[in-house]
């Protein structure tokens, strides 16, 4: 039972959210960081992210039952009662909001609330109606560094928005690759992802490539906003070109295997990029 409640929170995604939040916090802490505030920020963001994931699974439980990759989740598999899952999701979301408000500040809590509401009430229902849901969903998806930055500084500067832009663009190759790999599943569930609407994959591959190209100059911006030095600059350029290579390959080879390579490249890219940014951060 406990394992099923944990599964509702999507812990494999939550760690990436918390990493992004932590990066935002460290860049927001211009006047020094405080361990207690950082812990409150990580716990609060983790609870809101977990609550959002659980609420999303509650909302999409019928669609999840139609997809092979999600039909074993606790709700469609019948291992959890839907009402209990809803109460659990609401409670941990409220706890996350309170944790950010009390332990960090109001701005970080409100940004967390915006993330939850936009994900659940805009992005999630839009998935059944339009392939543009990916674009909309990338906004709440890029909020974690803003939450961390706001928790540390009480405001948002251009440095915060640079982190937001990197994470925003990174999501497109990542999620389009997933959508291509599981397009039959999405079609069965009535979710109008781009590969479902345009099944030849040309538009999906084109967008993966274009976003991979756009990510390169955006990823170099921390150098020019005094967030990192030359080690980061050259490392980010190398990472961007490697990521772009995966995007170029899928333009001519629109196979599931190649989409998986794009996905794997994206999973490696972001943690390494953020690690370089923190390593080469000015003293």
Token digits for 185? 């599943």
CA angle 219, 221, 226 (to 5 degrees): 130
Q: What is the pLDDT of residues 45-90, one digit of tens each?
A: 999 999 999 999 999 898 888 888 888 898 988 888 999 999 999 9
Q: Residue 250's closest CA among 166, 180, 185?
A: 180
Quote the CA–CA distance of 247 and 250 in Å, as a whole number. Answer: 5
CA angle 50, 54, 60 (to 5 degrees): 145
Quote the CA–CA distance of 118 and 135 in Å, as a whole number. Answer: 12
Which domains are present in the chain?
Answer: 1-156 (1.10.357.140), 157-283 (1.20.120)
Q: What is the pLDDT of residues 188-245, one digit of tens each?
A: 888 888 888 888 878 888 999 999 999 999 999 999 999 999 999 999 999 999 999 9
**What is this structure's pTM?**
0.94
């Amino acid at each position: 039972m406990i394992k099923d409640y944990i599964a509702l929170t999507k812990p494999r995604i939550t760690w990436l959210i918390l990493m992004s939040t932590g990066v935002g916090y460290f860049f927001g802490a211009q006047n020094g960081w405080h361990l207690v505030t950082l812990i409150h920020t990580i716990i609060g963001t983790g609870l809101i992210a977990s609550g959002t994931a659980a609420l999303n699974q509650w909302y999409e439980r019928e669609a999840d039952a139609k997809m092979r990759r999600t039909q074993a989740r606790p709700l469609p598999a019948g291992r959890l009662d839907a009402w209990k899952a809803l109460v659990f999701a609401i409670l941990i979301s409220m706890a996350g909001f309170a944790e950010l408000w009390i332990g960090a500040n109001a701005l970080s809590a409100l940004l967390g609330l915006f993330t939850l509401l936009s994900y659940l009430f805009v992005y999630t229902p839009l998935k059944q109606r339009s392939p543009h849901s990916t674009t909309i969903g990338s906004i709440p998806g890029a909020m974690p560094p803003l939450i961390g930055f706001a928790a540390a500084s009480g405001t948002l500067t251009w440095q915060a928005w640079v982190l937001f832009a990197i994470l925003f663009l990174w999501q497109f190759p990542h999620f389009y690759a997933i959508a291509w790999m599981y397009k039959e599943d999405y079609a069965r569930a009535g979710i109008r992802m781009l590969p479902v609407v345009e099944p030849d994959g040309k538009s999906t591959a084109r967008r993966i490539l274009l976003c991979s190209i756009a990510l390169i100059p955006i990823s170099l911006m921390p150098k020019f906003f005094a967030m990192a030095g030359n080690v980061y600059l050259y490392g980010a350029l190398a990472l961007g070109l490697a990521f772009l290579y995966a995007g170029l390959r899928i333009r001519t080879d629109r196979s599931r295997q190649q989409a998986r390579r794009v996905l794997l490249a994206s999973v490696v890219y972001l943690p390494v990029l953020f690690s370089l940014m923190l390593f080469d951060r000015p003293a």
